[in-house]
Amino acid sequence: MTPARAVARIPCAARFLVAATAAILLAGLILPTRALRSSTPAVGDYVNFEGLQVRPLAMTPDGSKLLAVNTPDSRLEIFAPGGGSLTSLGEIPVGLEPVAVAALHDTIAWVVNHVSDDVSIVNLNTRSVLATLRVGDEPTDVLFAGTPRRAFVCVSGEDAVKIYGLANPSAPTLDLVRPIFGRHPRALAAGGGEVYVGVLDAGNRTTCLPADVVQSGGGPPPPSPPRSLQSPAPAVGLIVQKVGASWVDERPASSKTWNSVIPFDLPDQDVHVLDAGTGALLRTVSDVGTNLFNLAVGPSGSVYVTHTEAFNRTRFEPNLRGRFLHNRIARIAPGGVSPDALWHLNSHIVYDTIPGPPEEKALSLSQPMDLVVNAAETRIYVAALGSDRVGVVNAASGAVLNRIPSSPAPSPARSGPTGLFLDEARGQLYVMNRFSSSIGIVNVASETCVAEIPMRFDPSPPEILEGRRFLYDGSLSDHGDLACASCHIGGNLDNIGWDLGNPRGSLEPVPPGQPLPIPPFDPMKGPMTTQSLRGLRDTSPFHWRGDRLDFTRFNPAFVGLMGNPDTLSSADMQRFSDFVMTMVYPPNPNQNLDRTWPDPPAPAPSPTRGKVEFDTVPHDAGVCTNCHSFPTGTNRTIIPAQALQESQAFKVPHVRNMYQKTGFRRAPGPQKRGFGFLHDGSIDDLFAFLNLPVFQFANDQQRRDLEAFLLSFDTGLGPAVGRQLTVNATTKGLAANAAALDSLCLQADLTDCDLVARAYVDGSRRSYAYTGGGLFQSDYDPEGSLQSAALRSLPDAPGETVTFLGVPRGSGIRMGIDRDRDGYKDRWELALGSDPADPASIPAITAVAAPASTPAARLLQNAPNPFNPATAIGYEVERAGPVKLHVFDVSGRMVRTLVDRHVPAGSHVVRWDGRDDRGRSLGSGRYFYRLRTGEKILTREMTLVR
C-alpha cells in the first residue's frame, strides 16, 4: 500500500516507478536509513506507557485514608493524613498503569488500570485485591453515583461509559453501556443527580479539505507572510472550521466559505450529561474546548472543566509561534448546553511580544489537568502540569489569584502536578506530583506547600526521570504556557491537524541514505495531523515526510514554534530524545489474547483473512508488507512525489495506531471528529482509502478484511500484557479460570509476556514470578516454587485471592519478586530486616534459619504412588502451629481437606482414600497435595489409578 491519499491518480509512468521501487524493496537492496543516536539504552525490566493520570488521589468518606495511585510501580498507596503530614499505611499491587482511584466506602476502593483494561477492586484494610473487573479498552476514570448507588466507568478506547450495579461489591454487574458521541471520553464528575463525562479529543469543529478539493475551489488563501522562494508552493490541503453555519478558512467568513464541499457536520459534543439514576443521556454541552482534561462540580451545580483550545485554523509556524493554543477553564451553568464562561488562565500574556518579559513566564499556567472546588465555591484549585504550580482561580470571575509551587523546594527536575484532593477539614490540599513521584501538601490558609511526601518507590530508569520534563515543561516556551505535550498529549496526540509550514523558510535537505532521488523538502508542507511520540524507536527518519533524520532534529521547534529564545543544549536534547524512545504503544485491543486475530465468517470483516491479503496478495505495485513491513509497519523509506502523484514526497507511515484514528466519515450526518487517516487526515476511513482506483480488489469483502487487519496491527506488545485474572475460594476451580491461567502461562512460555502473581492468603501478602513450565517462584526463599494449579488453588477462606498479571517481557522478576532490583526477593528481604522498596537497603546477612514465626516443614512423597484405593502422606513440622493439607485435582479445584488444625511439632502421617469431602470416589488421574504452615507452602503430585 502506498502512504498518501492522491495515489489514486498515478499515471502509467509513475506506476512504473512505484513498481520499480517495490522490486528494489523485494530484492533487499534498500537499506533502512540509520539515524544518529536517538534512542535510550535498552531498559530490560521497565516499559514506559507514559500513562497520563486522570484522578490519582481520593479519600475515604470518613477522612481516615488518603488513596494515591503509584502509576509507574502499578500500586495503590494508602496514607493516614495529619496536619502537614502523611503516614504510610501500606500499599496494594494493582494492574498496569493505574490512573484513577475512587473510594466506594471506608473499606473498598476501585482503581482504574489504563493498560490492563480493568478495575482492581481492593480491600483497604487487608491491603489486598478482592476482584478484577474487566471493563474494556483503556479505561480512564470511575465514580459512584445515583440511587441505588452504581459505579460509572469511563472506557476511553470504546467511547463509552459503563455502569455497574453494586449489590455485591466484589462482583459488580454490568447494568448499562452508554455510548459517548466523541473520541476518547476521559473524565467523570457528579452532582445534583447528574454525571458529567468530559471528552479528551473533543475537537474544535475543524477538518481538512483534500488538496484537489482546495484547488478546484479556487485555491488556498495567499500565504501570509509572503513566500520567499520563487518556485511554486506544493499543492496541499487546507484546514477549515465550522463557525456558525459556515465552513471557513483563515480568511474572513464573508469572503469565502466551503459549505458546498463538506457534506458532514461536527456537532462538537464536549461534555455529556447522564442521569445518575438511569444512565440516560440528558443533554450534551458544546464548544467547551479542543482537548478536555478534567471536571469538577461546585456546590451551586456549576461544572468546571480544564481544557486547552487550539488555533489550528491559523496557518504557518511564524503566525503560531508562541501562541498556538490557550490553557483555559470553562464554567457550565446548571442545565447549560454551552459554557457561560471561558476563562483564559494566562490573560496576562501579551502574545504580540516575543520575547516576553521574564515576569510574564513566571505567572503562566501550562497544561491544566485536575481541578477541585472549595465548599464555599470561591476558589478553584488547578494542577498545572507544565508549570509545577497549583493555580488558585476565583470561581466567580476566573481571575487567577495565586500560583502555588507544588513542592516546597522546586528544582530543575520538575514535579509535574497531575492530581488534587481538597481536605477542607484539615485545611490541606494534596497534590500528586507525577514526575517526582510525591505528594505535596498545601496549606490552603497560607497557600504555601508545606511538605512533600515521597511515594514508596518509583522503578522508572534514569532515561525517563531525566528526560521527561522536556516533553511537558512550559518554561521552555517564550510565554511559559506551551510545551511539546500541549499537542503531543501524554506523548500521544491531540487528534487534530496543523499547518506548520513557513512561507519564509528555505528548502530542507533530505536525510542521507535514501535509495531513490528525492528533491529538498519545501518549507510550505501543508496540513499534517499530530503524530504520536510513542513507538518511535527504530522508525527514523521522522515526521510524515521523513524530513527529520532523528529526534534531536526537532530541537528548532523550541524556537520556531514555542518561541523560546534558544534551542535546548545538545545534552538536554539528547536526554529528551532518550526519554521519547522509551515510550511504547499499549497492546492492540482488536487482537486475541494469543496475539492472533479474530476470524469470523464472511460477510463479517476478518483480520485473519486481511493478514493474508496484506502479506501475499498484490493490491498495488506489490504486496502491502513490502513497504509497511513488520514489526513497526514501515520500511522507513521516503517515496518520491511523482510515484505518489502528490506534490511532495512522503515517508512510508507506520500503521500501529490506526485503531485510534477511527470516528470520521466524509458522509452526511454528524461525525465524532474531523480528521482521519494519512498525513493530512483528509481520508476518513481505511475502507475509503482502499477504494481508491490505484488498488485492485476483487470485491469489498477483501477491502473490509484488509481494513480489519490494519485496525488490528500489532503494536509491539501482545494482548497478554496487562491482562489480569483474580481467583478466590469460590472461583478458583472454575474451568474458565483454569483455562485463562493456562493461556497466560502459554503466552509467557512463548515470550509474549512475563507473568506474575500476587496473593493474599492466611492473612499475608505474597508475590510470585513465573519461571516457565508451569512454575511460579515465590518472593520468600523457603517457599521455593509452586505449580500454577497449586498457586491458583491457594485461596481457601473468604477474602483470600490470587491475582495473576501479564507484564511486559523482562519485567516479571522486578514486578513479581524483586521490586527494587537488589537481588533479594521481597518477602525474604523483609524477613531479613531490609526494605524491598529501597535498593540501598540490603540485608546484613544473606542466609539465616527460617524466622521463628515460620515453622520449618517437609512434605514427603506419598506411598504407594501410583495408588489404589488409598495412600499415606507424611509431613514434618519443626514447631507447633496451624497446618493445612489439601488435595486438588488437575484443574486446581480442591477436592479433599486432610488436615486443618493446630498440629504439634514432629512427624505426622495422614491417609487419603481417594474420596472427596462428600465421600464420593474420585476418578483416575493426577492430583496435587499441598501443605501450608506459616509462611511455607509445599506441593507434590500423586496419581490415582482405578
SS (H, E, C) 123-188: ECCCCEEEEEEECCCCEEEEEEECCCCEEEEEEHHHCEEEEEECCCCCCCEEEEEEECCCEEEEEE
Class of residue 207 by CB neighbours under 10 A (exposed 0-12, middle 13-18, buried 19+): buried
What is the pLDDT confidence band of residue 890, given thresholds at 50, 70 and 90?
confident
Find out whether 337 and 356 touch, Cβ atoms under 8 Å.
no
Please choose, from the candidates 922, 860, 872, the residue with its C-alpha nearest in 3D space to the C-alpha of residue 896. Answer: 922
Strands 417-423, 173-179: parallel, antiparallel or unpaired by DSSP?
A: unpaired
Whether the predicted pLDDT of 2 surpasses 90: no
DSSP letter at 521 equals B
User: Distance between CA 623 and CA 1 in Å, rounded?
Assistant: 7
Confidence (pLDDT) at 793:
92
Confidence (pLDDT) at 43:
54
Lowest mean pLDDT among 26-40, 503-517, 909-923: 26-40
Q: Which residue has the cell 447522564?
A: 274
User: Distance between CA 776 and CA 328 in Å, rounded?
Assistant: 50
DSSP letter at 273 equals E
pLDDT tens digits along 378-434: 999 999 999 999 999 999 999 999 999 999 976 666 899 999 999 999 999 999 999
- The SS3 assignment for 688 reads helix
Number of other CB atoms surrounding residue 413 within 10 Å: 14
Grid cell for residue 469: 520534563
Please choose, from the candidates 663, 902, 810, 834, the residue with its C-alpha nearest in 3D space to the C-alpha of residue 179. Answer: 663
Find out whether 17 and 642 touch, Cβ atoms under 8 Å.
yes
User: Distance between CA 546 and CA 634 in Å, rounded?
Assistant: 12
Q: Which residues of 901-910 are buried (b: 16+ CB within 10 A; e: fewer)?
A: eebeeeeeee
Looking at the DSSP bridge assignments, the partners of residue 846 are: none
User: Distance between CA 707 and CA 710 in Å, rounded?
Assistant: 5
Find out whether 438 and 452 touch, Cβ atoms under 8 Å.
yes
Grid cell for residue 256: 469565502
What is the pLDDT confidence band of residue 31, given thresholds at 50, 70 and 90?
very low
Whether the predicted pLDDT of 671 surpasses 50: yes
Confidence (pLDDT) at 36:
34
Q: How many residues does the chain have?
A: 946
Grid cell for residue 710: 490494519
User: Distance between CA 724 and CA 590 in Å, rounded?
Assistant: 17
What is the pLDDT confidence band of residue 761, given thresholds at 50, 70 and 90?
very high
Confidence (pLDDT) at 160:
98
Confidence (pLDDT) at 907:
85
Q: What percent of the chain has pLDDT over 70?
A: 94
Confidence (pLDDT) at 406:
95
Confidence (pLDDT) at 644:
84
Q: To 5 degrees, how large is the angle CA 297–CA 59–CA 368?
A: 50
Q: Which residue has the cell 463479517?
A: 604
What is the pLDDT confidence band of residue 693, given thresholds at 50, 70 and 90?
confident
Find out whether 340 and 303 touch, Cβ atoms under 8 Å.
no
Looking at the DSSP bridge assignments, the partners of residue 927 are: 889, 942
pLDDT tens digits along 555-600: 999 999 999 999 999 999 999 999 999 999 999 999 999 999 999 9
Whether the predicted pLDDT of 891 surpasses 90: no
User: Distance between CA 755 and CA 768 in Å, rounded?
Assistant: 9
What type of residue sits at position 452? Answer: E
The DSSP H or E segment spanning 25 is: helix 12-27
Find out whether 95 and 805 touch, Cβ atoms under 8 Å.
yes
Mean pLDDT value across residues 184-201: 98
Lowest mean pLDDT among 329-343, 346-360, 746-760: 346-360
pLDDT tens digits along 364-382: 999 999 999 999 999 999 9
pLDDT tens digits along 217-263: 999 999 999 999 999 999 999 999 999 999 999 998 778 999 999 99
Confidence (pLDDT) at 645:
82
Whether the predicted pLDDT of 459 surpasses 60: yes
Contacts of 659 (CB under 8 A, 6+ apart): 588, 589, 590, 711, 712, 713
Whether the predicted pLDDT of 506 surpasses 90: yes
- The SS3 assignment for 317 reads helix
Please choose, from the candidates 121, 118, 99, the residue with its C-alpha nearest in 3D space to the C-alpha of residue 109. Answer: 121
Find out whether 187 and 54 touch, Cβ atoms under 8 Å.
yes
pLDDT tens digits along 603-661: 999 999 999 999 999 998 789 999 999 999 999 999 999 888 889 999 999 999 999 99
Looking at the DSSP bridge assignments, the partners of residue 219 are: none
As a dihedral over the C-alpha atoms of residue 589, residue 594, residue 600, residue 601, rounded to 10 degrees, the angle is 150
What type of residue sits at position 109? Answer: A
DSSP letter at 299 equals T
- The SS3 assignment for 489 reads helix
The DSSP H or E segment spanning 207 is: strand 206-209
Confidence (pLDDT) at 398:
98
Q: Which residue has the cell 503560531?
A: 320
Contacts of 83 (CB under 8 A, 6+ apart): 426, 428
User: Distance between CA 790 and CA 894 in Å, rounded?
Assistant: 10
User: Distance between CA 77 and CA 64 in Å, rounded?
Assistant: 14
Confidence (pLDDT) at 738:
95
Please choose, from the candidates 147, 249, 163, 256, the residue with its C-alpha nearest in 3D space to the C-alpha of residue 206. Answer: 249
Whether the predicted pLDDT of 851 surpasses 90: no
- The SS3 assignment for 444 reads coil
**What Å distances lie between residue 356 and 399, 481, 623, 659, CA to CA?**
21, 12, 53, 41
Mean pLDDT value across residues 130-151: 98
Grid cell for residue 946: 482405578
User: Distance between CA 116 and CA 156 in Å, rounded?
Assistant: 13
User: Distance between CA 518 and CA 740 in Å, rounded?
Assistant: 52
Confidence (pLDDT) at 694:
78
Mean pLDDT value across residues 49-54: 96
DSSP collapsed to 3 states, 562-577:
CCCCCCCCHHHHHHHH
Strands 881-889, 925-933: parallel, antiparallel or unpaired by DSSP?
A: antiparallel
**What Å distances lie between residue 629 and 26, 648, 690, CA to CA?**
11, 22, 18
User: Distance between CA 754 and CA 812 in Å, rounded?
Assistant: 5
Class of residue 625 by CB neighbours under 10 A (exposed 0-12, middle 13-18, buried 19+): middle
Number of H helices and number of E strands within the chain? 16, 50
Find out whether 882 and 841 touch, Cβ atoms under 8 Å.
no
| Mean pLDDT taken over the chain | 92
DSSP string computed for 716-773: SS-TTTT-EEEEETTTTT-HHHHHHHHHHHHHHHTTS-EEEEEEEETTEEEEEEEEET
Strands 264-265, 269-275: parallel, antiparallel or unpaired by DSSP?
A: unpaired
User: Distance between CA 645 and CA 248 in Å, rounded?
Assistant: 27
Please choose, from the candidates 307, 97, 130, the residue with its C-alpha nearest in 3D space to the C-alpha of residue 731. Answer: 130
Contacts of 249 (CB under 8 A, 6+ apart): 220, 221, 238, 239, 240, 241, 256, 258, 313
Contacts of 510 (CB under 8 A, 6+ apart): 518, 519, 520, 521, 546, 547, 638, 649
Cis peptide before 600 (omega within 30 of 0): no
Q: To 5 degrees, how large is the angle CA 648–CA 652–CA 654?
A: 135
User: Distance between CA 565 and CA 321 in Å, rounded?
Assistant: 12
List helix spans (H) across 581-699: 607-616, 641-644, 686-690
pLDDT tens digits along 822-838: 999 999 999 899 999 99
Find out whether 483 and 476 touch, Cβ atoms under 8 Å.
yes
pTM for the whole structure: 0.90
Whether the predicted pLDDT of 26 surpasses 50: no
Whether the predicted pLDDT of 481 surpasses 50: yes
Q: Which residue has the cell 482537548?
A: 291
